[in-house]
């Protein structure tokens, strides 16, 4: 007759591992103003592009001596650049705002 003894099993407690995981969890709402520093430069670049579109449309209208030409030339490009500018400004704002 052979008897087999069960080998003692070691059960690792996960209490300390779970506590470490909870400490490392980054809350999505914990960010503050200008928390995403990678968005500062693109925001400035899109802001300058927005200014360039506005000034360019102004000078095109001034060269043609017609105000409506400024609006026709600058409206669509201005709105497109404005969208990307606001998307990057949004990255600089707190998440719950």
Tens-digit pLDDT profile for residues 64-94: 998 888 999 899 999 999 999 999 999 888 8
Q: Note whether residue 78 is domain-resident.
A: yes
pLDDT band at 5 (very low <50, low <70, confident <90, very high): low
pTM for this prediction: 0.65
Tell me, yes or no, whether 87 lies in a domain.
yes
Higher pLDDT, 48 or 34: 48
Give me the domain span that covers residue 85. Answer: 31-92
Give yes or no for residue 33 having a pLDDT over 90: no
Residue with the two structure tokens 């017609």: 66
Domain count, the chain: 1
- Specify if 52 maps to a domain: yes
Averaged pLDDT, 5-26 = 59
Residues above pLDDT 90, as percent of the chain? 44
Instruction: Answer whether residue 17 is part of any domain.
Output: no
- The answer as to whether 7 is a domain residue is no
48 domain residue, yes or no: yes
Cα–Cα separations (whole angstroms), residue 65 to 33, 44, 60: 44, 31, 9
Take residue 15 and report the two structure tokens written for it. 């209490």
Give pLDDT, residue 79: 97
């Amino acid at each position: 007759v052979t008897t087999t003894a069960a080998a003692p099993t070691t059960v690792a407690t996960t209490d300390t591992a779970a506590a470490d995981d909870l400490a490392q969890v980054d809350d999505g709402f914990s960010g503050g103003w200008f928390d995403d520093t990678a968005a500062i430069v693109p925001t400035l670049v899109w802001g300058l592009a927005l200014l360039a579109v506005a000034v360019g449309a102004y000078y095109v209208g001034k060269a043609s001596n017609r105000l409506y030409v400024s609006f026709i030339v600058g409206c669509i490009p201005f709105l497109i650049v404005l969208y990307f500018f606001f998307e990057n400004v949004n990255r600089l704002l707190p998440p719950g705002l």
